[in-house]
Structure 1
Amino acid sequence: MDSGVRFAARSTVQQTGRALVPLGFMFFFVGLSTAVVGPFVSLFLSTAVRADPVRVAVFLVAGPLSMVVSSTLIGWLSDRRSIRRTLLLTAASAGCAGSILTAFVRDYWVLLALTVTVTAVSGALFPQAFAYAREVLQRRGSTRAAMSISTLRMVFSIAWVAGPPVAALLVELGGFRLLYLTAALTYAVAAVVVLCWLDEVGPAPAPDAAAPPVEPPMEASRLSVLRVVAALALLQGAGVLGIQAMPLFLGHVLHTDVSYAGLVLGLCAALEIPLMLAFGALSTKWPLRPLIVIGAGLGALYYGLVTATTASWQVAALQLLNAGLIAAVGGLSISYVQELLPAQPGRAATLAGNALPLSAIFAGPLLGVAAHFGYRTAYAFGAALCVAGLALLLVSPRLAPAARPQSAAAFRRAH
């Protein structure tokens, strides 16, 4: 009997793995599409579009805000109808169309209109892919949802390791037109993966009439969920601020060649990958909340220590702590919010995903303040953001794990 149970469990794991392979490919190409464009948006606006600093700032705020609104509406819709595959295809198609148009349009106001409409819709691709993965795992009875989703998030990080260097080469070879056409191609590949290999998940199956009744999973209150999302925004805001300030801090404060910043950031991205796997493995044995709390603590320690550094090698050595923060928060946050809202995977993934664009909005002004008082101040701000995020996580509630329904046979064996 035990060997039969183990065989069934192993078979379920293998089937789940095969189901998530197409999603892994899609995550890589979605990550690549954002990684080749994201670091060069400001340069594109200031050089190719010739926008002044005020217009650049408006563009950089309007984009994330419109993406938050669009993703929220799409997340609300996705939990009410079984159309998640359709939404993935729509978002990927919107990203492809927006990138093609951006490759040829150079009028600022037309580009701004594209950003707050078509490109904003493409922002739903990231959270909806996580929501789709969660539903696939739930339908297959997987007990390793957090680890699987953390692995998919790691694939996204791998794309970000490769994306910026590829983007720099593309700009050098063919300018921004080639850059955005390449981004359109990556979105198109993601759409093909959805169209050819992903099935609509469909409504949840009816419960087994012979199985004992199971209470619906406990959900956190709205205030508790918002508190957790605010904590995630603060923690990711520290990350955005740290990335933006790194070249300036190394160049102006530690008097190091600015190119060293690329090596430091690349080192951090490389360290994230094994750490995401490690945190994902720990998530199968530990609750997610303490793991994310550990990540927040590593972040507070990292930013506090960088504030006191006197040499660039010290900043490089501390990237292990920074990678721990990104691996824990970036890899597990969506799964954690989905545990808080188990019946609403789309809304949960959207709320967790919206933390990043929201963090980018307030990271910019903090960098401006740091430019006035010294770029070392940016890391002091980062430490404060991590401490605030850690405090919010510590006061968030501990939820009991959601009850898992058993089959009739399993119930009889247990009793």
Structure 2
Amino acid sequence: MQPIITTSVNKARSYLSLIFSVKQFVILLFINFMIGLSVSFYVPFNSLFSLEEVGMSNLSFGYYMVIGSLSSVLISSIIGSRSDSSTSRKKLLMLAFLFSTIGFIIFAFSRNYYVLLLNSAVIMGVASCGTPQIYAYAKEVLENNSVDQNKIPFLINIFRMSYALSWTCGPALAALLLVKFDFKGVFLIVALLYFLTLIIIMLFLKQSKLVVSKKARTKVLPLIFGNKKILLTFIAFMFITAAGYINTMNMSQYVIKSLNGSESQVGIIFSVPPLFEIPFMVYFGLLAIKNNVVKLIKIGMIIAVIYYMLLIFVTDVWNIYPIQILSAAYISIIMGVSISYFQGLIPDEPGTTSTLYTNATRLGSLVGYLLFGLITQFLDYRNAYICCVILAALSLVLIYSSNFKKESVRL
């Protein structure tokens, strides 16, 4: 037993040493934590803001989110392509967080549907490039520091974990701030967080420029749409993400209107998964080094199906608390490992592949928002989880039907 413990401790020390030995990686972890904290302040309460504060109908809310998602996909794709050719990622990150700051100042003061729609489509559309660019920047930092390719998935998972860490306290803290300062105060705090992140990027991140040949770039689109494995992966992640976004939008309404819960209980529900995501991400990140990543993704999707099935049958708010552990498990696997998987599809273009992954999730959010609006407009909030089960099951079928082989992906 003692040799096993000693070996485990030595491995933990070596990985910890690796994290701190990579230049700029610790700063990137903090930046990702700040991003996660900002997002955790508004995402759990987005449907409450739109439906209750602004007064949108469920259907108009769906249209609002769909237009915003489409715009984000278009703008981030254009920026992602430029990032892999000549544009400095640092400048793109600064642009993204500047627009995020402006966008949330507008959210704080406007309650006009069309102003918010324009803000979501244009301002937040530009801001949306921040997520794929920060992951692409992180991968380049790891490669520039000559990190072993087999250890990159683990470190990317640690990077993702810094995002999850912020969610352990973010939603619950946002619920308290919402009671004290209302949506205006919460959105101004989010704007401040994004502005502070912008300052950190300006002061501490170095310029990053990756030049890719024109010939290499012209092969990307045919590879994406002409390769069955990539296409099925893209659709599978789009569907599993759609289920997740339906859940995110639906949960607060489900708790408050169907289960007679409160905003504070919504905050607790969204804070439970990140507590478990952190150890899960470490564990699954280590597994990803030695195991077939696709097998892990399949397991994650099976857990997702079970999770959404259980949500259909809850009768009280407290029933949801333990079920959220399953949410943590499937998110840790799918969202933790998938970035490295997508980046392995086109290793020489991290900006493009990160954007490919991000666009799969954004199109998934588009599908999720539209389905949420349609289902909750004509049915009830419990029925939304039947749709989640179907989407998660379809994702699993698509992954199985793609016939992946471990050697087809470079990690």
TM-score, normalised to structure 1, is 0.81
CA distance in 2, matches of 1:62, 1:153: 27
Change beyond 3 A, Cα 1:56–1:403: closer
Q: Which runs of 5+ in 1 are unaligned?
A: 1-5, 206-218, 405-415
Distance in 2, matches of 1:45 and 1:378, equals: 18
Q: CA deviation at 1:350?
A: 1.3
In the other structure, the counterpart of 2:287 is 282
1:5-404 alignment runs, 5 A limit: 13=18, 16-46=21-51, 49-51=54-56, 55-143=60-148, 144-203=151-210, 222-247=227-252, 249=254, 255=259, 257=261, 260-307=265-312, 315-367=320-372, 368-369=374-375, 372=378, 375-396=381-402, 397-398=404-405, 400=407
- 1:283 to partner: Cα distance: 1.6
Does the CA-based 8 Å contact 1:146-1:284 persist in structure 2?
Answer: yes
Change (3 A) 1:47 1:229: same
**Against the structure 1 CA distance between its residues 155 and 54, is the aligned structure 2 distance closer, same or farther, given a 3 Å change threshold?**
same
| Equivalence for 2:218 | none
CA distance 1:248–1:47, shift in 2 (3 Å): closer
Q: CA distance change for structure 1 residues 57 and 321 in 2, over 3 Å: closer, same or farther? A: closer
Matched residues, percent identical?
30
Q: What code does the residue aligned with 2:36 have?
A: G
Match for 2:178: what amino acid? V
Q: 8 Å contact 1:32–1:159 — kept in the other structure?
A: yes
User: Are the aligned partners of 1:340 and 1:399 in contact in 2 as well (CA < 8 Å)?
Assistant: no
In the alignment, is the contact (CA less than 8 A) between 1:231 and 1:388 conserved in 2?
yes
Counterpart-to-counterpart distance in 2, 1:43 and 1:344: 39
Q: What is the CA–CA distance in structure 2 between the aligned matches of 1:50 and 1:21, rounded to whole Å?
A: 42
Q: CA deviation at 1:87?
A: 0.8
CA shift for structure 1 position 106: 4.1
Cα 1:262–1:276 shift into 2, 3 Å: same
How far does residue 53 in structure 1 lie from its aligned partner after superposition? 5.3
Q: Distance in 2 between matches of 1:387 and 1:51?
A: 31
Task: Answer whether contact 1:272 1:327 (CA < 8 A) is retained.
Answer: yes
Offset of 1:133 from its aligned partner? 0.6
Cα deviation, residue 270, structure 1 = 1.8
State the number of aligned residues.
Answer: 383
In structure 2, how many angstroms separate the alpha carbons of the residues matched to 1:390 and 1:231?
Answer: 7
Larger Rg: 1
Deviates more, 1:150-159 or 1:37-46: 37-46
Q: Which amino acid aligns with 1:149?
A: I
Give the match's secondary structure for 2:31: helix
Cα drift, residue 136 of structure 1: 1.1
Is the deviation greater in 54-63 or in 124-133?
Answer: 54-63
For the 8 Å contact 1:16–1:142, the answer to whether it is kept is no
Distance in 2, Cα, partners of 1:33 & 1:251: 23
Distance (whole Å) between structure 2 residues aligned to residue 332 and residue 379 of structure 1: 25
Is the Cα contact below 8 Å between 1:238 and 1:363 reproduced in 2? yes
CA distance in 2, matches of 1:53, 1:301: 27
Q: Shift in Å at residue 67 of structure 1?
A: 1.1
Report deviation, 1:134. 0.7
**Structure 1 contact 82–200 (Cα < 8 Å) conserved:** no
Secondary structure at 1:283 match in 2: helix
Equivalent AA in structure 1 for residue 172 of structure 2: P
Structure 1 letter corresponding to 2:208: V
Partner deviation per Cα, 1:239-292 (whole Å, 9 max, x = no partner): 222333445556677x56456554443322322221112111212222322211
Which moves more between the two structures, 45-54 or 134-143?
45-54
Query: What is residue 217 of structure 2 aligned with on the other side?
Result: none
Q: Letter of the 1:328 partner, please give it.
A: I
CA contact (8 A) 2:107 2:116 kept: yes
SS in 1 for 2:289: coil
Are 1:29 and 1:159, in contact at CA under 8 Å, matched by a contact in 2?
yes
**Partner Cα distance (1:120, 1:373) in 2:** 31
Query: Equivalents in 1 of 2:21, 2:188: separation in Å?
Result: 34
User: Which is helix-richer, 1 or 2?
Assistant: 2
2:220 maps to none
Question: What CA distance in whole angstroms lies between the structure 2 residues aligned with 1:111 and 1:306?
Answer: 32
Cα-Cα RMSD: 3.1
TM-aligned CA distance change 1:268 to 1:384, over 3 Å: same
Distance 1:14 1:225 in 2: 30
